[in-house]
Amino acid sequence: MSTLGNIFVLLGLVGSGWGIIRLLRQRKHPLTKRLNLIMLIGGIILVIVGSPMANTKAASGSPHQSSSVSKTKALTAKQQSRLDAEKAHGKILLAVKAKKVAELKALKKEEASLESEASSQAAASSVAAASSSRAASEAASKEASASQVAASEQAAAASSQAAAATQAAKQAEEAQKSAANQQATQPQQQAPAKSGDLYTGNQGTIIGNSRSKIYHVPGQAGYHMNSANAVYFNSEADAQAAGYRKALR
C-alpha cells in the first residue's frame, strides 16, 4: 500500500506539472486546453489520494525502527561486560595520562628550580671571586706602597749616612790639616845626644807617644819624637785599649 501511494503521488506530481506546462504553452487550442486541464486535475487527485497511503508507510516504518533501536540497545551480558571493561580501561589510561602529565609538570618545576639555584650559586661564586680578586689587588697595592715607603726610607737613610760620612771625612781632613799646621809651627827641639830623636816614619811598627797619647802606624806621615816617650804596640787594638788614639795623618 505504501508503494502504491508513492506511485500515485509521483504520477500526480508529474501529471500536474505536465498539465501546467501544456496549459501555459497551448492557450489558443480549446481541445488541447481541456485535455491539459483534465491532466492537471487528475494529477492533483492522485497526489491527494496517494499522500495518506505514503504516510501509512511512514507510520508503519516507525515501529520497525523502534524495534531495531531496541535490539541495538539490548546488548548481551558479555557485550556489556566487554564495554564496561573498555570503559574502565579508558579511565585507567586517562588516569595514567593525568599522572604522567603531573609528573612531567613536577619535573619541569624541579628543573626550573635547579636552574635557578645553579644560577644563584654561579652569581655568588662570581661575586666571591670578584671580592677575592679585589682583596688581593688591595693587598698587592698595600704591599707595593709599603715597599715604596721602605725603599724611600732606606734611600733617605743611605743619603743621611752618606752625608754623615762626607761630613766626618771633611771634619777629619780639617783636623789633620790643623794638626799638620800645629806641628809645622812648633819649634824643633834638639834632644841631648845621649837621648836622641825618634822618627816614626821609618820604624815599621806601631809607636805611641806617652805624652800626647797618640799612636802612629806604618804608612802614615812620620814625625820626630823623643825616644824616651815612645811606646810600642803589636796592634791598634792594644793601643786603643791602652787609651791611645790614632794619628790623623
Q: How far is CA 214 from CA 14, 173, 223, 244, in A?
A: 173, 17, 12, 5
CB 197 within 8 A of CB 226: yes
Q: What is the pLDDT of residues 168-216, one digit of tens each?
A: 777 767 766 666 666 555 444 444 433 447 888 787 889 999 988 999 8
pLDDT in tens, 143-169: 888 888 888 888 888 887 888 778 777
C-alpha cell at 38: 483534465
- Output the pLDDT for position 59: 47
- CATH entry 3.90.78.10 includes domain 195-249: no
Cell numbers 785599649 label which residue?
Answer: 241
2 contacts 53 by C-beta, under 8 angstroms? yes
The rounded distance, in Å, linking the Cα atoms of 46 and 38 is 12
216's enclosing H/E stretch is strand 214-216
Grid cell at residue 102 = 603531573
Which residues are paired to 207 by β-bridges? 216, 232
pTM score, whole prediction: 0.25
Domain boundaries, the chain: 2-59, 84-156, 195-249
Strand partners, 209: 214, 230
Residue 162 has a pLDDT of 83
Regions of the chain short of the pLDDT cut 50: 1, 57-61, 186-196
Nearest CA among 209, 201, 245 for reference residue 227: 209
